[in-house]
Amino acid sequence: NGTIVTTLRDVHTEHVNVLKFSNTSPHLFATSSFDKTIKLWDLRAPKEPIFTRQSEQGCVMVCFSSDDKYVLSSAVDNEVRQYTLDGEFHMRYPIVQTGSPRNYTRSYYMNGSDYIISGSCLEDAVRVMCSRTGKMLAEVHMEGRQNTGDLYVQSLRGDPHRPFLFAALIAYNTGEYLPNEIIKVNLLGESLLGS
């Protein structure tokens, strides 16, 4: 039995994919949409966004760095950009595009804000990049139990407790249902037994 405090209408002109609250402010949240924009909002003044930033493709994801200094935007086909919290453009990550309008890309900060991970639904790789410079640090190709060659990264997250671990949810593009798999990756190459 909650109480509706605020209702925002017509915040985007196409489907809204994600709404994420900031990590340190209960009033700030960001939205991403297939209308090719991300927007930062303040619940205390919800009539207009704090800022709107445009992408070339529809925006799939948006998230905040753990310290809320940056906002990460992921658009279709590996278009990943980073902005400061006041909306200043920081960088576009140099990820090769496939040319497909169906290559939905998701990117997140890993534990802390020093690295980002990015994966797309038409590719089997998770890319690890320096969030400050954009330098590609690793490209990890997923290998599932099904030997179809048609696996892709459906979703991914950095481990919130260990800085060099992430998990990827992989799925298969085969036309028939194959069970999804979750693959945990330790970028340091160490065993996770007993941890």
Q: From first to last of its 195 residues, what are the pLDDT tens digits of the chain?
A: 889 888 888 999 999 999 999 999 999 999 999 999 999 999 999 889 999 999 999 999 999 999 999 999 999 999 999 999 999 999 999 999 999 999 999 999 998 889 999 999 999 999 999 999 999 999 999 987 776 668 889 999 999 888 889 999 998 887 777 788 999 999 988 655 544
**pLDDT score, position 49:** 96
Q: Hey, what are 97's tokens?
A: 């595009």
**pLDDT score, position 147:** 65
pTM, full prediction: 0.89
Distance between CA atoms of residues 51 and 65, nearest Å: 17
The values of phi and psi at residue 44, to 5°, are: -75, -20
SS3 string of the chain?
A: CCCCCCCCCCCCCCCEEEEEECCCCCCEEEEEECCCEEEEEECCCCCCCCEEEECCCCEEEEEECCCCCEEEEEECCCEEEEEECCCCEEEECCCCCCCCCCCCEEEEECCCCCEEEEEECCCCEEEEEECCCCCEEEEEECCCCCCCCCEEEEEEEECCCCCCEEEEEEEECCCCCCCCEEEEEECCCCCCCCC
**pLDDT score, position 70:** 96
In the sheet that 28-33 helps form, which strands lie side by side, from edge to edge?
A: 16-21, 28-33, 37-42, 51-54
- Tell me the sheet residues that pair with 174: none
**pLDDT score, position 190:** 67
In the sheet that 59-64 helps form, which strands lie side by side, from edge to edge?
A: 59-64, 70-75, 79-84, 89-92
**pLDDT score, position 148:** 63
**pLDDT score, position 145:** 73
Determine the straight-line distance between the first and last CA of the chain, rounded to whole angstroms. Answer: 40
